[in-house]
């Protein structure tokens, strides 16, 4: 009886060992699957980075007889109203504003500050919907207008969203700036860093 009991215990131990081995094999299979998926994720992210550097830029508006005019208020260092730049349902994919091109400015004696924002509806940007900004001054020489792109590090704008701009100036007059924007397609990576909702200033 003692021998039989020992054999039963041994068989039970073997069964437990086999079960443990099965669990270990299952865990290894899961780990291998995770590693393969991680490889795919890394490849996808490398593709997104490659796209970021080599994707085609687009200019808005495309009509060279048209430009967007944004105006400062008659109080120095005070933003004017938001002005629609890119209408709703114009860009059918997520996009980044790459920069602005200043095509005309009222004066060379003023420091300008342009801020861009977005909205997913046909309304002005709300709280923390700013997507980028630039401060600049137009010089008489070598050229009056900053006809080269002024780059902006913007956060992504959702597909089909509107883009808006507003202006403030140091001159204390209702000054205006005509501009166009340059944008590119935004491709998501697998593990994006969460956007910081607002700067401390």
Which two three-digit tokens encode residue 141?
């020489």
Indicate whether 196 belongs to any domain. no
What average pLDDT does the structure give for the chain?
A: 83
Confidence of residue 197 (pLDDT cuts 50, 70, 90): low
97 pLDDT higher than 80? yes
Which distant-in-sequence residues (6+ apart) come within 8 Å of 100 by Cβ?
Answer: 114, 116, 134, 149, 150, 152, 165, 179, 180, 181, 182
Taking only the tens place, the pLDDT of each residue in 21-53 is 877 877 887 787 777 877 777 777 676 666 666
Greatest mean pLDDT range, 53-57, 127-131, 146-150, 195-199: 127-131
Window from 11-25, 77-91, 109-123, 156-170 with minimum mean pLDDT: 11-25
Average pLDDT over every residue of 64-71: 91
- More confident of the two residues 97 and 67: 97
Which two three-digit tokens encode residue 98?
């790459």
Question: Within this chain, do residues 103 and 47 fall inside the same structural domain, yes or no?
Answer: no
The span from the CA of 130 to the CA of 90, in Å, is 19
Indicate whether 193 belongs to any domain. no
Q: According to the model, what pLDDT value does residue 3 have? A: 57
Q: According to the model, what pLDDT value does residue 116 have? A: 96
Question: Within this chain, do residues 126 and 155 fall inside the same structural domain, yes or no?
Answer: yes
- Residue 166, phi then psi, degrees to nearest 5: -145, 160
SS3 letters across the chain: CHHHHHHHHHHHHHHHHHHHHHHHHHHHHHHHHHHHHHHHHHHHHHHHHHHHHHCCCEEECCCCCCCEEEECCCCCCCCCCCEEEECCCCCCCCEEEEEEEEEEECCCCCEEEEEEEEECCCCCCCCCCEEEEEEEECCCCCCCCCCCCEECCCCCECCCCEEEEEEEECCCCCCEEEEEEEEEECCCCCCCCCCCCCCCC
89 pLDDT higher than 90? yes
Q: According to the model, what pLDDT value does residue 62 have? A: 93
User: How many domains are there within the chain?
Assistant: 2
Question: Within this chain, do residues 89 and 126 fall inside the same structural domain, yes or no?
Answer: yes
The span from the CA of 116 to the CA of 84, in Å, is 10
The span from the CA of 37 to the CA of 144, in Å, is 54
- Residue 14, phi then psi, degrees to nearest 5: -65, -40
Question: Within this chain, do residues 165 and 139 fall inside the same structural domain, yes or no?
Answer: yes
Question: Within this chain, do residues 8 and 89 fall inside the same structural domain, yes or no?
Answer: no
Question: Within this chain, do residues 8 and 81 fall inside the same structural domain, yes or no?
Answer: no
Angle at 59 between CA 54 and CA 65, to 5 degrees: 155
Taking only the tens place, the pLDDT of each residue in 128-177 is 899 999 998 877 655 565 567 788 877 889 999 999 999 999 988 889 99
pLDDT over 70, % of the chain: 81
Average pLDDT over every residue of 111-116: 94
């Amino acid at each position: 009886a003692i021998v039989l009991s020992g054999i039963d215990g041994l068989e039970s131990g073997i069964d437990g060992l086999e079960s443990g081995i099965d669990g270990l094999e299952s865990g290894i299979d899961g780990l291998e699957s995770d590693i393969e998926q991680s490889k795919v994720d890394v490849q996808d992210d490398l593709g997104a980075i490659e796209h970021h550097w080599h994707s085609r830029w687009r200019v808005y508006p495309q009509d060279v007889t048209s430009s967007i005019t944004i105006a400062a208020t008659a109080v120095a260092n005070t933003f004017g109203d938001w002005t629609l730049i890119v209408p709703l349902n114009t860009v059918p994919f997520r996009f980044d504003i790459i920069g602005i091109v200043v095509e005309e400015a009222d004066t060379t004696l003023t420091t300008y500050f342009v801020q861009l924002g977005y909205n997913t509806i046909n309304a002005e940007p709300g709280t923390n919907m700013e997507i980028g900004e630039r401060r600049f001054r137009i010089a008489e020489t070598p050229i009056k207008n900053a006809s080269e792109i002024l780059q902006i590090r913007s956060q992504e704008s959702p597909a089909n969203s509107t883009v808006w701009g507003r202006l403030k100036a140091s001159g204390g007059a209702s000054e205006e700036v005509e501009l166009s924007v340059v944008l590119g397609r935004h491709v998501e990576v697998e593990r994006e860093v969460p956007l910081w909702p607002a700067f401390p200033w």
